[in-house]
Every structure is written in C-alpha cells, then in structure tokens.
Amino acid sequence: MRSLADYYPDGVLGATRDGVVTIINSQAAALLGIDAQEAATLPLSELLRLLDQDGRTWLDVNRPFDSISIVRAVPEQSWLNASGEEVLTTARLVRDEPLGPVVGIAVGLRSGRGRARLDRERSDLVATVAHELRSPLTGVKGFVQALLNRWDKLTDDQRKLMLNTVNADADRLARLIAELLDVARIDTGRLQLYPRESSAEVLVRRVVESIEAGTSREILLEVEDDLPEVFADPDKFTQVVTNLVENAIRHGQGQVSVRLARTPDRTGVRTTVDDEGDGIPVELRRRVFTKFWTTGDSGGSGLGMYIVGGLARAHGGWVTIDDAPGGGARVMVDWPSDDQRPE
C-alpha cells in the first residue's frame, strides 16, 4: 500500500482517531520535512505540524475529530511547513457510519508552487492588459488636454487631426475591451453564437473592402465558383476574417491574398489568408493560439489568434497554419456548411 502511494504525485497521509499514522507516502514526508521511514513512527500531532500565519497548527484549527456529524471533509487550505514553503491541504473525514463519530482522517498535501506560478501568470496578464489599455488612453488624454488648453490657438485642421486621432484611439480601446470580453466568454464557455446560413463570399468581400479603405493596401481576393454557404454567425465570421487579414498586413509589407474555396472533403468552405512576411516557424505554430502571444515588433494585443481559434472551434471549424508560397504565413480556417457546433 505504501509503495503504491509513493507513485501518487501528491502527498497522502492517513491517521486514526488515536493519532496513529496508518500511511504516509514519500511526497507527504518531503512536504512535512520529515524522513519517510521515521514519519511512520511519529504521532499525528508531531507529524502534521503545518502552521498558519498566526502560528496555529492544522489540528488546532480544524479539530477534525471533534467535527459535527454532517461534516465530511475539510476544503483546500494554505499552510506553511517548517521551511516556510506553502503547502496546500485537503482532508476527508472517515466515519464507520454516515452520522457516526470520526474514526480517522485522510489528508492530501501538495506544494503551493503551482498556485504561485498561476498567481504570477495572472499578474502578467493584468500587467499586459494594463499596458495595452494605457497606450491608447494616454493618447486620448494628451490630445484632449491639448484641445482644452490651446483651443483658440489651434487651426481647424489641427483640431480635426487631433479629434481624428482621439477617435482612432477610442476605437482601439473599444476593440481591445471587446477582445478581452470574447476571451473571457471563450474561456468560460459562455460564448453566444447566432449562426445561420450565410454567404462567405459576401462577408469576406465586405471585410476586404473595409480594410483596403482603411489601410490603402490592395488585397488580392480569389473566390472559387459555386461555393456552398457556411453555417456561421455572420458577426463572428467577419471578426475571424478581419483578424486574419489585419494580422497579415501587420506582419508583412508584401502582397496579402485571401482565397475562398471548398474544404478538401467538400463539406464546407476554407478561408485562406497568405502574407509575404517572415512566416511562423513550425515549432511556434501551436503557441500562436495562446493568449497574449506576439512576435517581432509588429504590436497588437496578442489576442487575435486566440480568438480566431476559439471562434472557429465554437462553430465546429478548425484553424491550420502553414507556409505561404511567397515565403510568409498561410492561415486556413475551415467553416462547416451545416450545424457542427460541439455539444
């Protein structure tokens, strides 16, 4: 039994009501700072000496053997071992009958390093979001302050230029906030779709014409004849294509091309976006779909491809990255022609 418990990745400790330790694996002994062979001979009160911030022990705080009859477990708690390291514990109270006295406890222990790493990742997330929000907000604040302080000294052209810049920064803020909301909905499974049969050609042409007008860049569009309609939320479909085309423009100065064709199995429509940038190395292609992943000095929030992947999967589609013929990146999104949304 002990040898099997040693294979378990977390610490396991079992004891009777009398304080006799019945089982302790090597992971638990290490977290408690005790030799594994010696641990089996110590009473529970000497073995389980995890402390809280006030210096109280696990047994003093939880008093498992004095628990009322309806209590079945102790939820996860944070404690400090003798080395000052965080240890996370959970416990199960053992009773011979459902409402009888507690005759034993089973305690699970694991290192708090994983939670510390998660806390660091959350801090990095907050810092990244704050930076992305601060950049356009600084521009808005600066130009508005200049307009308020120097309104009479500025010409109409100067005022118009400043207001156009403020408007562009406000749009950037609104877009970033919308992306953050989409990320939260994808992560929590609360993404709402309103799919219907739609013309991929009509939607993509609108995106291409809009981006061409806003960037003064010519985008090559190729459309295969007799394409089936896609079963997709038109707004989300447009959002995916917009992200892909804007990424292609951002990462290269060469030709950006968009192609619509049937999927290889002829059951849907494949949207292919090619650029002539540096491309995406094979070993990094899976990381592209993680949050806040960026490369080079092209800027951007790093959320676009994460959202692209999430929206495509929500429709029952798929995203693939390959090399473009011109040496850049090729991103392909397959859209179903019928309802393929996952349950």
Q: What is the CATH number of the domain that holds 128?
A: 1.10.287.130
The CATH code of the domain that includes 220 is: 3.30.565.10
The CATH code of the domain that includes 92 is: 3.30.450.20
171, 188, 205 — which closes off a domain?
Answer: 188
| pLDDT tens digits along 210-248 | 999 888 899 999 999 999 999 999 999 999 999 999 889
* Domain shared by 321 and 245, yes or no: yes
Domains held by the chain: number: 3
- Helices 304-314/156-188 angle, 10° precision: 50
Three-class secondary structure of residue 30 per DSSP: helix
Instruction: Give the pLDDT score at 295.
Output: 65
Which residue in 282, 279, 263 sits closest to 271, CA to CA?
263
| pLDDT tens digits along 88-141 | 999 999 999 988 999 999 999 998 887 767 777 677 667 777 777 887 888 899
- Asked if the model's pLDDT at residue 1 lies above 60, the reply is no
Among 231-235, 265-269, 287-291, the range scoring the smallest mean pLDDT is: 287-291
DSSP 8-state code for residue 49:
-
Confidence of residue 297 (pLDDT cuts 50, 70, 90): low
Contact 240, 253 (CB under 8 A): no
Higher pLDDT among residues 217 and 299, named by residue: 217
* Domain shared by 177 and 222, yes or no: no
**What mean pLDDT comes out for the span 271-297?**
82
* Domain shared by 32 and 124, yes or no: no
DSSP 8-state code for residue 109:
E
The boundaries of the domain holding residue 87 are 2-111
Instruction: Give the pLDDT score at 129.
Output: 75
In a domain, 72, yes or no: yes
| pLDDT tens digits along 34-47 | 887 777 778 898 88
**What mean pLDDT comes out for the span 137-162?**
91
In a domain, 295, yes or no: yes
* Domain shared by 103 and 153, yes or no: no
